[in-house]
Amino acid sequence: MFQALIGWVSTTSVTLSEMYGVNPLVFGVLYFGTMPLFALSVAWWVRRWRRGESTLFPAAVTGLLFIAAYLYVLVTGRNLPVWVYLFMAAMLTLGGVSTWRQLRRGRASAPP
């Protein structure tokens, strides 16, 4: 059964990759590979804010890491169904709200 599932996932990903021009391996590496860097950039952002330093560059890096995988899909994808764009918008919105709350908690715990 496990072999059948792996075969189905492999066949489906190759078919969808050819159909839409998005390599699922590249997407997965971007999505999961940027997670640790994203967490570090959020910590960097909060630390610079607490010190009263400029947060422009850390915010830009955090934002780029946040959208990297979705940006890849938008740039390389072709003939994507509308639901893909809606799904990406929902994921970015939910992730943005979650990140904003995390940043607010980090700022709230800053010493006066």
Residues 62, 5: contact at Cβ < 8 Å?
no
CA 30 from chain center: how many Å?
8
Which pLDDT value is given to residue 44?
Answer: 93
What gap in Å lies between CA 13 and CA 32, rounded to an integer? 17
Provide the residue ranges of all domains of the chain, joining segments of one domain with +: 2-108
Low-confidence residues of the chain, pLDDT below 50?
none
What gap in Å lies between CA 89 and CA 81, rounded to an integer? 13
Which pLDDT value is given to residue 104?
Answer: 78
Which pLDDT value is given to residue 111?
Answer: 63
What gap in Å lies between CA 18 and CA 36, rounded to an integer? 30
Which pLDDT value is given to residue 107?
Answer: 65
Which pLDDT value is given to residue 112?
Answer: 57
- pTM, full prediction: 0.70
